């Protein structure tokens, strides 16, 4: 299986596009809804939560895990790759979602000034500023932290008029600082759920980039370049969904994010708790 992880529902917007592009593989999705959102948590806590989740997906047999969460990708991925995997899981791989979006922005070669919406944690990490600068220092990036969006989306309130009001305020503040932009990067996997609202607010000439299709294309390319990983993936078209909180609620909201009915199971990262849980 290919493991997918997010603090909650956001990663489903990525998994949806990956499944469309690579339908033959088996996928195991884990949402840590009990502890979402991660966006305003410290680096230490995000690292610990993310490592626990990745270890859990490894124990369930995933040779490859995609961290479909920008907060975890920005704050925990590098440390997991550099410190955790070599000692504990040298034959497993973990990929994130920051790098694919950064590469896309640089490779397109048409963007000069981009805006970026993300959680507080991602903005404070400056991961996007650093990575875009490395690939193309001429691109200017203006970031805006949007701490209210993930809680609104996790509550299933994306169609509430308050969501649009809040989004307008974040975008007004971003554009007041940046002026005209060529592209708006949705650097949080929850935000595609607000795509329609965002599209209504920003000018039509501004390209709005979401990560799902970009990550799907990059993952396909990664698997072509890494046959030693690809060979270990099972191919049954199965999708399994796990959550650390209420399954009924997960299934109701996950349907919106994933675009298909979903039946989840409750898990705890801690093996003892899992045995006694449900």
Q: Binding of ligand DGL at residue 119 (CB under 6 A)?
A: yes
Per 3-state DSSP, the chain is made up of helix, strand and coil in percentages (nearest 5) of 50, 15, 30
Given candidates 33, 70, 143, 264, which one binds ligand DGL under the rule CB under 6 A? 70
> What three-state secondary structure class fits 2?
strand
**Separation between Cα atoms, residue 198 and residue 185, nearest integer Å:** 11
What is the separation, in whole angstroms, between the first and last Cα of the chain?
23
Taking CB under 6 A as the binding criterion, the range among 31-39, 196-204, 230-238, 267-275 that sits at the site for ligand DGL is 31-39
Q: Binding of ligand DGL at residue 125 (CB under 6 A)?
A: no
CB of 10 to ligand DGL, least distance (A): 3
Long-range contacts formed by 51-58: CB under 8 A, 24+ apart? 51/76, 51/80, 51/84, 52/269, 53/5, 53/269, 54/3, 54/5, 54/80, 54/84, 54/94, 55/88, 55/269, 56/30, 56/267, 56/269, 57/3, 57/5, 57/28, 57/30, 58/3, 58/89, 58/92
Q: Residue 31 or 63: which CB sits closer to ligand DGL?
A: 31
97, 211 in Cβ contact below 8 A?
A: yes
CB of 275 to ligand DGL, least distance (A): 27
> What is the number of H-type helices and E-type strands within the chain?
15, 10
Q: Residue 10 or 212: which CB sits closer to ligand DGL?
A: 10
Q: Residue 7 or 158: which CB sits closer to ligand DGL?
A: 7
Extract the tokens encoding 149.
């969006």
Given candidates 1, 3, 4, 6, which one binds ligand DGL under the rule CB under 6 A? 6
Q: Binding of ligand DGL at residue 69 (CB under 6 A)?
A: yes
- Helix or strand holding residue 53 (H, E): helix 43-59
Binding mask 142-181 for ligand DGL (x = CB under 6 A): --------x-------------------------------
Q: Binding of ligand DGL at residue 50 (CB under 6 A)?
A: no
Q: Binding of ligand DGL at residue 7 (CB under 6 A)?
A: yes
Residues with catalytic function: 69, 188
Q: Residue 27's Cα: distance from chain center in Å? A: 15
Binding mask 217-256 for ligand DGL (x = CB under 6 A): ----------------------------------------
Given candidates 71, 125, 247, 264, which one binds ligand DGL under the rule CB under 6 A? 71
Q: Binding of ligand DGL at residue 190 (CB under 6 A)?
A: yes
Site residues for ligand DGL per CB under 6 A = 6-8, 10, 36-39, 69-71, 119, 122, 150, 188-190
């Amino acid at each position: 299986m290919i493991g997918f992880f997010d603090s909650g529902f956001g990663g489903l917007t990525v998994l949806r596009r990956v499944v469309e592009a690579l339908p033959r593989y088996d996928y195991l999705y884990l949402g840590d809804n009990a502890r979402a959102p991660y966006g305003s948590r410290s680096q230490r806590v995000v690292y610990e939560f993310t490592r626990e989740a990745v270890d859990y997906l490894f124990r369930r047999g995933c040779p490859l895990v995609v961290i479909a969460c920008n907060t975890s990708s920005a704050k925990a991925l590098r440390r997991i790759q550099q410190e955790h995997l070599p000692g504990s899981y040298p034959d497993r791989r973990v990929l994130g979602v920051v790098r694919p979006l950064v590469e896309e922005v640089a490779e397109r070669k048409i963007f000069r000034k981009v805006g970026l919406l993300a959680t507080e944690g991602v903005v404070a990490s400056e991961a996007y500023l650093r990575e875009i600068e490395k690939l193309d220092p001429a691109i200017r990036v203006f970031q805006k932290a949007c701490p209210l969006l993930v809680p609104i989306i996790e509550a299933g309130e994306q169609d509430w008029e308050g969501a649009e009001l809040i989004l307008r305020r974040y975008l007004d503040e971003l554009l007041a600082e940046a002026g005209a932009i060529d592209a708006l990067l949705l650097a949080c996997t929850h935000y595609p759920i607000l795509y329609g609202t965002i599209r209504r607010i920003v000018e039509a000439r501004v390209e709005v980039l979401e990560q799902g299709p970009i990550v799907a294309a990059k993952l396909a390319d990664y698997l072509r370049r890494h046959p030693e990983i690809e060979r270990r993936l099972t191919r049954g078209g199965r999708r399994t969904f796990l959550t650390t909180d209420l399954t009924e609620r997960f299934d109701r909201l996950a349907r919106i994010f994933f675009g298909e009915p979903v039946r989840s199971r409750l898990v705890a990262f801690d093996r003892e708790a899992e045995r006694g849980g449900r």
